[in-house]
Structure 1
């Protein structure tokens, strides 16, 4: 993946990290948290977030590279994730304490490796062109400069929004487990006899989200197995935070909306809830499905003693979703960006 001399300072080396080594995981977490503090103003990452990338389970769809200095200290980390056909996610973290030349050398090595990974992933997927999709905080000028220098383009802006939750909002809906309004039923995904979620319900969630996001920015088709594997990796994953909305117009309920929630764990206060996915099929829009699903997760959060619900919204969403969220009390806490580069396979 790299030339014999990748351009690192004398005595430095690039290698795959050992995700089973606690010291490695701790160091990567330290690097990631420092990156967040400088670029955003505070750190939120945990070792669980790092393990999603470097653990044995994470490596089913990922590869990682670290750069070590002459003393063996990890100074940079890259991770690629074969997210879906034609779309490879990329994490790019360089020690914030490194001086400019050494930091830039690490950055160049990570980009060279990521582009080689993109060609490998694209070839395995039968693609002529493979997209690299990476993110940056809005005010991270160092990262912006590196991305522009390697031919990435800033393609989208995302508002990271939060909404406070009060205890009284537990009564916002009759019961977050199962309730109805205006010919629409809102319910948690069912449970099979073995205690696991009902597969038919999970497939309904997947089908709704695939259908709802077909025309959205950078939508890439994802198989059911890819979808389930990826969402189970989230440190905040909880099966009881998956909801379906169903139209009751006919003889058989018809799935028309879905919300996948997670738990945002907090070390200093109550946990929060997070809307990882919210989708409504076009045939059901205008019937209060999105509002009903949002009221459901808010009520569930309140009943669970949580103090906020977070979500991400496309600043250029064609559905005007940000208007709905703002009207319901969400406010932007910080802003992120998507940067893309197409690599010819």
Structure 2
């Protein structure tokens, strides 16, 4: 069955402009000079929405630096009484091969909620996303709006009430590093840290390993280079299995010391675990992940944290449970399709 082009499915919602004036909020386009104030507002919201971790300032700055974000059209902030109380974005990343998916991001500080600010922001995000998607008007690809949220936050009923559907559940898992870690023999595997000379091999491996994962799209060189260069990405806590000049398995880890302030414990966040498809079933994933757990324990960190698709096709949830991870909470992805 053929699918109509995006121009026939995605409605023209009119120019995005700025969100409607509401509750005394003055909306405007931010510049990189606003990044610190945006960072503060986003982390005020984070204390309610995901209190176990903060958003690094570098992530905020990156939206002003990457080639696929146009701050003059894709980002907004709202101020009241001289401070930023709401931050929003609609971003359509490059490199998507079988979908056109716009990612909507929004943060409203707790003191400014339930005043219609979030609704005004969402209406703007949808107008901007429609513009972005309709720019690919001849494509006969699925067109989606995509939002991440904690499963138990007020964002979920707000969005489902606005016509979004829960598309997928993700499980957030924790591992107490004070508990014994069973050592695994590397066998004939060569496992090394994720050093700068392996960055491009890591991107190739990531794209292969996640090709059959729900919602995943290829990562472009620019996006991957920025991910690998972030200060929180730790080569010494990461582990990759190499076969010649290929990475065939990886456990890529982050550590943000600021997270401990809000979480109450120090942690390593395992951002990506994967095995290329022609090396699956060889026990590579538990070996590289065990290396990360050992390195984090030896660095004096208290927990390992990761999130995983609850319906992962690789059986990842069972793997993590066998390595001592337990469920902490759930997150959801909500989507609206056109």
Quickly name the TM-score band, shorter chain normalised: 0.7 to 0.9
Instruction: Specify whether residues 336 and 167 from structure 1 end up closer, same or farther in structure 2 by C-alpha distance, changes over 3 A only.
Output: closer
| CA pair 301-241 structure 1, distance change in 2 beyond 3 A | closer
Partner of 2:255, secondary structure, is strand
> Which residue does the alignment assign to 1:194?
none
Q: Does 1:246 align with 2:242?
A: yes
How much has 1:236 moved relative to structure 2? 1.6
1:181 maps to which residue?
186
Could you report, residue by residue, the CA deviation over 1:79-117 in whole angstroms, capped at 9, with x for unpaired residues? 2333343333222223333463x2x2x222211221233
Q: Tell me, yes or no, if the aligned pair for 2:18 and 2:76 is still in contact at 8 Å.
A: no
Q: Name which of 245, 248, 251 aligns with 1:256.
A: 248
Tell me the TM-score normalised to structure 1 length.
0.78
Match of 1:12 among 25, 38, 53: 25
- Whether contact under 8 Å (2:239, 2:289) holds in the other structure is no
**2:91 alignment partner in structure 1:** 81
In structure 1, the partner of 2:8 is: none
CA distance in 2, matches of 1:13, 1:314: 38
Distance 1:182 1:253, change over 3 A: farther
1:16-31 alignment, distance < 5 Å: 16-21=29-34, 24-25=37-38, 27-31=40-44
Q: Does 1:202 align with 2:216?
A: no
Moved more, 153-162 or 23-32: 23-32
Match of 2:163 among 135, 151, 167: 151
Which residues of structure 2 form unaligned runs of 5+? 1-14
1:38-92 Cα offsets, whole Å, 9 max, x none, are xx5x35325x34x5125675564443212234x3443322123333433332222
* Cα distance in 2, alignment partners of residues 43 and 188 from structure 1: 26
State the alpha-carbon separation in 2 of the partners of residues 135 and 145 from structure 1. Answer: 13
**TM-score, normalised relative to structure 2:** 0.79
Q: Output the aligned Cα RMSD.
A: 3.0
The offset of 1:219, in angstroms, is 1.4
> What does residue 307 of structure 1 align with?
302
Partner of 2:208: 211
Taking the aligned partners of 1:166 and 1:26, their CA distance within structure 2 comes to 32
Q: Could you tell me whether the CA contact under 8 Å between 1:78 and 1:91 is conserved in 2?
A: yes
**Is the contact made by 1:32 and 1:45 (CA closer than 8 Å) also made in structure 2?**
no
Task: Indicate conservation of the 8 Å contact 1:17/1:24, yes or no.
Answer: no
